[in-house]
Every structure is written in structure tokens, then in C-alpha cells.
Structure 1
Amino acid sequence: IDWSEWTLAGIARPIRVTATGSTGVAHAKGMPTEDSITLTVQWENLNDKTLGCAVYTSSWVAPKSDVHSQQRFFYMGTGGEINVDQAHRGCTVATDATGFGSVNPLFMKYTPTNGMFSGQGSYGVKSFEKFIDACRAVNDGKSAPSDFDDGSLATVHTTLQGTAILQAGRQSLDGDGIPVDILYDGDGHEPIGMEAHKFA
């Protein structure tokens, strides 16, 4: 969801969310929550009001696998498509000694280089570094928080649509799958509310 919000900033906005859930495993363990949730999100292009559709699924009940987290992304547009298998990074290795395996780069580099920590080049550490640098700049009066609403960091203003999608999804689940409309002020891109969809 956050990737869609980031790449579609100023281009499209989410206007409707319909959610479905799978249950059973968590309930059997005494946890009253869904095992998997799928959100179908209707996106509206800002320039011509044409519509697009995205489907997002999250599941925390899964069998043992070759990776910690199965993360996939597929985009089909009018001019092309993108396939991403983030869990595998497109790299598998098979040897007589170890058999088949997925060489999956982790969130950071855990093994030392020359006996020293060497994970600082990973995206996990870099994201913390950029956040701390931004906090210092704001605290030192060199920047304002709004300076980072340009997409360089996740801020309240750059994550409002994603937050609205998640909240609308929760409301849809709680309403037995009723679509939930995300409301805006005119052609704005920051959500101002949401309501159950009214069918004509």
C-alpha cells in the first residue's frame, strides 16, 4: 500500500476499499483476528477521473517456507507490467552440498567485515539514519517538518492515504465486507473522512 501511495502521489488517490478476511487458525489459538486480509482498492486518476484497481493481501498465518516473509508485487498498466518477488530477489542457488536454496538478502548485513559491524549500508539502517538526520535538521532550525513531505521520508502527510486505506479496510471487515468510500475535499489528495458506500 505504501509503495502505491508513494508512486501515485499527485497522480491518483484511493477512493473506495472493500475488504475480505480469512479466519480459523488465529481463532483456534484464542486470538480473535483474521488470518489473512485482502483489500480491493479503487484508485481515481486525478487528471481525468478514470479508475484503476489494486488488490493487497496480508497474511500472518503461513506454513514454514524458504523465506521469513513472502513478499510479491505485480503491476499491470496500459503500457507495461512489473513483477517483483522481493522475498527471493530473483536469486536461487543449488549445490550438491547444500541442495536448493533461496539466497535472500536480509533487512541488513548481519555478518561482520574484518571483524567489524558492516550493516550500515543496508536499507534498514539507512532509513533510520535519514530519519535521525531530519530530526536533527528540524531541531537545529535548519529545516521544517514540512520540508520532508516531498517523499524523501515517510511523514504524516505522505502516509495519510495508506492510513485511510487500512482504516477503511478495517471498517469494511467490521461491516461484513461493505465497501467504504474515502472522502476528500474537492480534488484534494489528503483524506478528510470515510463512510460506508451507498449503493444507488
Structure 2
Amino acid sequence: MTRTATELLENAARTLAPDPAANPLVPLIARGDASRDTLATLALEQHWVIPADRTAFLHLAQRTNEPDIAAYFETLAEGETLAGRHLESFAAACGIDETRTRAYDPLPGCQAYPSCIAWLALNASPADAVVAITANFSAWGGYCATIAKSLRTHYGFTPEACAFFDFFAEPSPDLDQKAASAVQAGMNTLNMEQAYRYGHLLQNYESLFWETLLQLP
């Protein structure tokens, strides 16, 4: 039973995987060629993304009557809380203080992704959202692994300063299991055509996030 749901999620991740060229910034970071100002802006944008996604995940948990689906989104929300704590260390390593964080105006191209997550929280079937969001996490985790390695190798960041990216890069068998259980619980209402449509939107908005950062002066 669970294997069927797992295979469905694995296929969605393969089908919705972005083109390697869709993210022009991460290769620059990997080579150490991205500026520290760009890294600082990445941190500032994440200060907006993380709490927005957490709220959206909690709303998705509240909208479902399936305990396994609710548990999945509650776990995602808990993860955003922890990621937010790690983000402070990354921001500090980038020279960002609380005053700069409060004064920062977010970039529309970077905030399109959390806006889409919020739209899903309000409008999508929670089961469809599980598939779309889980597929997107596969690409995001790979980006974070690359960034974490480069921050150590090329930028001299401490493990504490890299913890935000390490957190998302590390495999999470427990989360994978919860995602599969959520999909299985929602199988009767799952609309794969819609789920893939949402997944394509998320992947494109994530690409826009990185492209926007790349265009900074």
C-alpha cells in the first residue's frame, strides 16, 4: 500500500525535476563566484519565505480531515520553525543585523514562490498539495547541499552558519514516510493532473527566485 504511494511521489519528483539550467545562481555559488551581497540578499529573502511557508503549512493541516495529511503538514511547519532558527546564524555570517532585516524590502520575484504556497494552502486539495510540495523539495534539497558545501569551501562559513542549508539538504526518511502516508490517506481525492500543475508552478517560481537574485547589481 505505502509502496504505491512512494512510487507515485518518486515519479512526481522525476517528472517535475527542473532543467539543470533552470537555476543559474547555484552554480555560481558552487564555484565561489557569487558575491557576499548576493548571499546576504538570499538570507533576507528567506526571512520572508520561512514564516510564510510555516503559516501556509499549518493552514493546510487544518483544512484536512485526514490525520496522516495533517501530520505531514504539521511536520513541515515544525521544520520551518527550526529552519528559521538556523537562518539567523547564516544571516549573521552575511553581516545582517536586526535593523537591516526590518528595513529590507523583499523582491517580488523571490516572493512569488511563497505566494504560490499560500495560494495552495487556500485553494488546493491538501492531498494534491502534498504531491506538488514534496516533488519540489527534492530539487530544493539538492540546491541546499551544493550551497552548504560551497559556503564551507569557498566562503569560510562555520558549520553553525551553514546549518540552514544542511537542514534542508539532509535526507529525512521520517518525512518521506509521512509524505507517503499522506498520499495514501488522500488517494481517493487525489487529482494527479492538478498536483502536477501545481508542481510545475512551484518549480517555475523557484527558478524565478534564483534568477531574481542573479540579476542583482
Place the TM-score, normalised by the shorter chain, in its bin.
under 0.3
Which has the higher relative contact order, 1 or 2, with Cα contacts under 8 A spaced 6 or more apart? 2
Higher helix share: 2
Higher strand share: 1
Structure of greater Rg: 1
**TM-score (ref. length: structure 1):** 0.26
